[in-house]
Amino acid sequence: MLSIGRYYQGEKLVGIFNFCEHDRTAWINEEDGEYEDLITGKKMEARGVDVPAYGFYYLKRCEK
């Protein structure tokens, strides 16, 4: 599991990658609002994110 964050002029992007053959939970705990996956458009909280085997998310914080 790998997670990286990028921050620029008040915008926030978090990349979460699962390189394992099993589903995993990324135990991140971002408490600053809702995020949107840039690939699927799915909105979610960035806390305890379940990532499927070999899956990934690019989560961008939604505008407040």
pLDDT classification of 63: cutoffs 50, 70, 90: confident
Residue 5 has a CB neighbour count (10 Å cut-off) of 13
What is the count of structural domains for the chain? 1
Its pTM surpasses 0.75: yes
Query: Which string of b and e fits 24-35 if b means at least 16 CB within 10 Å?
Result: bebeeebeeeeb
Give the strand order in the sheet containing 43-51: 2-8, 11-17, 56-61, 24-37, 43-51
Range of the domain at 20: 2-61
Of the candidates 13, 45, 12, 11, the one whose C-alpha atom is nearest the C-alpha of residue 28 is: 45
pLDDT classification of 26: cutoffs 50, 70, 90: very high
Q: pLDDT, tens digit, for every residue of 33-60? A: 899 999 999 999 999 999 999 999 999 9
Q: Domain of 36: which CATH number?
A: 2.60.40.1180
